């Protein structure tokens, strides 16, 4: 599909199975026109053949701008919305140029000056050319530079540390990135940024959507933008706004080349690139929405409808429309897009927004949906990382743990358990209320086998299928989780109605930031310890950790937990580090280094609670504060908020590695008798009471070895300590 350069011209193919005719519209700049107006050369395509209109069009070169106009019935009550007055973006376009505007001309049906009208009314006769971007012919075979797909790092899952970031937000405030590169693909690969990722311990950067996108009309009316980019206009074209001014001036091929160069540079540093992709819906919105691409080409094929008359869209995404993955044509579009970004741009995998939508068939979600099977078995995608956001907002939409291998999944149960244990439960305890039992935290620490262990054969997916996170782009930052009990989203213009109310956060008694000169400043150290507890739990848990950009440096969004429309300092990563933020960055680096250096913290297999070889160590064991093994009663005791987790790698072909994690979730200190085998000697590797890892060298408990079973140690309230077995102890 799409328009592709070949010797002597271009080959064109476009799906419009209900249309009577399709014109390829080639932009012709008016010679000498003072207003820069553009006329069109229209070429009728042949067809349809199997629903596809096609042609070879001579004398069209790379860089040519084009669109489609589609002829056919205007019967909106039947779902047919063909309107040749509207210039349509090619869904397969490799590049886009020009701005998308919001106004009556971009609607297929007649609307008033406020863009309101009868969605089943007559077709609007106004020409939309000049109000929608042009698609651009791009010769991908002529792109400069090395092939980024040829130097992929191929990082094993057990070594993965994912860093979720926004191309623009990551570099806009970076003092070492030149001004002309900030907020761009080129800035993403600047040595200062790459050095930060490497020193942090990141192995993969997961980019929020870089597919071309638009701003929703309701945001345009408020003077806001869709900063996150979850409003796709093209599944093959990179977002031009993230390219340097020089690349944009040169054209669509240069925008694509800049992104490819950035991917290659990250690969050269050993960092993989994952894309957050939004195949579940498009920017055209619901029934009253704009008419810019899929709606005008083949509305009843691309979009899921509810089966009623008059025709109405089905919506399981919360955006007004849902791409219909019961249709082979829609599956093909998504797969073609994935192959393209893998082969041409060189990306290493994908995070699929609202992935349940992609696996909805006639009877709802199905594990063996053609899209899931094809993505897992396609030779062009073999070995790439496939990560599902395992929910949507439709019936039966929560499906965490139910995707097939080799898919991994965002683990929302991990997020909820960790926030509850370290924040929501202590907040309740401060008011004399009960919290959650410790067993849920233990399950998440050990890899969430309850969610990801169900397979044929059992346990084959492994703990890496659980992408563990405490924060993501959607919600509070890590610093805001410990600073706000309530969302503060007034800047979004929706009277604070938007965003989740289930934050499981804790302001530690005072809402918002505190003045360091006031008595309220006493909560600041407690907040910092809570951040360290949250991050340490993420770092030492079995599974694949994902960090949100800036959390390692205490980034705040000032309590906004739905900052999708905020493109400014509130969402950009701040690199101006105060002392406590420098300490937090050092702590983050130290914890990820601890994970990297200890196989017991990044196992490739689910723990079974038994030895891997005769006479070997148990791979997982649990003990209470007295060093007594957990039994059924202890797991179900709501008053028990202290545990010891012992994890070991002890096989014939791997060196012995044993780690002991001790957790105190109580509001008071607890004496702990260290567990382990007779003669075990433990060395403290990290303690959440330390503001900076250098405190290990001066801490009284750090210099000595601690003997299991006969030595008692004190754990501060709401703290975590990590011990490693001294091999010579």
Q: Active site residue: 40, 239, 353, 650, which one?
A: 353
Q: Active site residue: 23, 40, 348, 389, which one?
A: 389
DSSP secondary structure string for all residues of 598-613: -GGGS-SS---SSBSS
Q: Which of 282, 263, 276 is nearest to 209 (CA)?
A: 276
Euclidean distance between CA atoms 510 and 685, whole angstroms: 32
At 372, which helix (H) or strand (E)? helix 370-377
515 is known as an active-site residue? no
Within 10 Å of residue 46's Cβ, how many Cβ atoms? 13
What's the chain's length in residues? 729
- Which DSSP category does 24 fall into? E
Euclidean distance between CA atoms 637 and 658, whole angstroms: 27
Beta-strand relationship, 620-623 and 642-651: antiparallel
Euclidean distance between CA atoms 208 and 548, whole angstroms: 11
b/e burial code for range 526-551 (CB count within 10 A of at least 16 → b):
ebbbbbbbbbbbbbbbbbbbbbbbbb
Within 10 Å of residue 432's Cβ, how many Cβ atoms? 6
Q: Which of 336, 392, 326, 300 is nearest to 80 (CA)?
A: 300
Euclidean distance between CA atoms 671 and 654, whole angstroms: 34
Instruction: State the distance between the two ends of the chain, measured CA to CA, in whole angstroms.
Output: 66
Contact present, 473 and 548 (Cβ < 8 Å)? yes
Measured CA angle at 11 (ends 9, 13), to 5 deg: 155
Helix axes 438-445, 412-419, angle to 10 degrees: 130
Euclidean distance between CA atoms 343 and 380, whole angstroms: 7
Residue in the block written with tokens 């956001």: 389
Which residues in 98-173 belong to E strands, given as ranges?
134-136, 162-165
Q: Where does 207-366 have alpha helices with state H?
A: 217-222, 245-250, 252-268, 294-302, 328-340, 355-358
329 is known as an active-site residue? no
b/e burial code for range 60-89 (CB count within 10 A of at least 16 → b):
bebbbbbbbbbebebebeebbbbbbbbbbb
Q: Which residues contact 457 (CB under 8 A, 6 or more apart)?
A: none
Residue in the block written with tokens 């005072």: 510
Helix axes 294-302, 328-340, angle to 10 degrees: 120
Residue in the block written with tokens 């008595």: 519
Measured CA angle at 701 (ends 588, 698), to 5 deg: 65
Q: Where does 546-681 have alpha helices with state H?
A: 579-597, 632-635
Q: Is the dihedral of CA 480, 485, 488, 489 positive or negative?
A: positive
Q: HSE, CB side, 13 Å, CA atoms: give it for residue 520.
A: 10
Residues tagged active-site? 353, 389
């Amino acid at each position: 599909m799409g328009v592709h350069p070949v010797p002597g011209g271009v080959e064109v193919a476009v799906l419009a199975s209900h249309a009577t005719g399709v014109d390829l519209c080639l932009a012709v700049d008016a010679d000498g026109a003072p207003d820069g107006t553009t006329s069109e050369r229209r070429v009728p395509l042949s067809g349809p053949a199997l629903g596809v209109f096609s042609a070879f069009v001579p004398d069209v070169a790379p860089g040519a701008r084009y669109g489609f106009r589609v002829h056919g019935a205007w019967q909106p009550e039947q779902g047919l919305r063909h309107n040749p007055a509207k210039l349509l973006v090619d869904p397969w376009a490799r590049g886009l140029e020009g701005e998308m505007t919001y106004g009556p001309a971009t609607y297929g049906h007649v609307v008033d000056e406020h863009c309101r009208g009868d969605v089943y009314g007559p077709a609007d006769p106004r020409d939309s050319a000049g109000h929608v971007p042009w698609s651009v012919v791009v010769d991908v075979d002529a792109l400069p530079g090395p092939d980024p797909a040829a130097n992929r790092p191929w990082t094993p899952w057990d070594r993965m540390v994912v860093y979720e970031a926004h191309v623009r937000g990551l570099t806009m405030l970076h003092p070492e990135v030149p001004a002309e590169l900030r907020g761009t693909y080129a800035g993403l690969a600047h040595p200062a940024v790459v050095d930060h990722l490497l020193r942090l311990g990141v192995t993969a950067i997961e980019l929020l959507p870089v597919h071309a996108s638009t701003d929703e009309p309701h945001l345009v009316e408020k003077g806001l933008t869709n900063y996150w980019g979850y409003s796709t206009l093209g599944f093959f074209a990179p977002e031009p706004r993230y390219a340097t001014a020089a690349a944009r001036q040169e054209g669509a091929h240069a925008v694509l080349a800049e992104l490819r160069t950035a991917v290659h540079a990250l690969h050269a540093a050993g960092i993989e690139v994952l894309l957050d992709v939004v195949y579940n819906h498009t920017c055209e919105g619901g029934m009253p929405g704009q008419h810019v691409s899929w709606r005008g080409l083949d509305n009843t094929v691309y979009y899921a409808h509810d089966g009623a008359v008059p025709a109405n869209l089905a919506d399981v995404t919360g955006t007004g429309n849902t791409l219909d993955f019961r249709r082979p044509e829609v599956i093909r579009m998504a797969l073609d897009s994935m192959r393209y970004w893998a082969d041409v741009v060189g990306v290493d995998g994908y995070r699929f927004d609202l992935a349940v939508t992609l696996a909805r068939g006639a009877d709802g979600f199905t594990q063996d949906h053609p899209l899931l099977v094809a993505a897992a078995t396609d030779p062009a995608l073999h070995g790439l990382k496939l990560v599902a956001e395992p929910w949507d907002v439709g019936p039966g939409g929560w499906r965490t743990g139910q995707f097939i291998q080799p898919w991994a999944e965002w683990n929302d149960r991990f997020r909820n358990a960790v926030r509850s244990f370290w924040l929501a439960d202590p907040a309740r305890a401060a008011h004399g209320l009960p919290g959650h039992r410790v067993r849920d935290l233990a399950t998440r620490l050990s890899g969430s086998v309850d969610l990801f262990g169900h397979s044929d054969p059992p346990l084959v997916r492994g703990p890496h299928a659980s992408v563990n996170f405490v924060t993501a782009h959607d919600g509070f930052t890590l610093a805001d989780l410990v600073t706000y009990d309530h969302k503060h989203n007034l800047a979004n213009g929706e009277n604070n109605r938007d965003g989740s109310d289930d934050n499981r956060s804790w302001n530690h008694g005072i809402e918002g930031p505190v003045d360091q000169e006031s008595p309220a400043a006493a909560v600041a150290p407690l907040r910092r310890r809570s951040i360290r507890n949250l991050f340490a739990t993420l770092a030492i848990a079995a599974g694949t950790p994902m960090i949100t950009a800036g959390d390692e440096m205490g980034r705040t969004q000032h309590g906004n937990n739905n900052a999708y429309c905020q493109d400014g300092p509130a969402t950009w990563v701040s690199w101006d580090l105060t002392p406590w933020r420098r300490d937090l960055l050092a702590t983050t680096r130290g914890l990820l280094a601890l994970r990297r250096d200890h196989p017991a913290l990044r196992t490739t297999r689910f723990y079974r609670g038994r030895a891997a070889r005769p006479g070997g160590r148990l791979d997982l064991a649990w003990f209470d504060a007295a060093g007594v093994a957990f039994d059924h009663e202890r797991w179900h005791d709501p008053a028990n908020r202290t545990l010891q987790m012992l994890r070991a790698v002890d096989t014939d072909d791997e060196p012995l590695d044993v780690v002991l994690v001790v957790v105190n979730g109580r509001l008071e200190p607890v004496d702990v008798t260290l567990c382990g085998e007779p003669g075990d000697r433990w060395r403290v590797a990290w303690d959440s009471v330390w503001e900076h890892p250098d405190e290990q060298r001066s801490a009284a408990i750090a210099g000595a070895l601690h003997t299991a079973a006969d030595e008692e140690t004190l754990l501060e309230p709401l703290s975590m300590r990590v011990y490693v077995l001294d091999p010579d102890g």
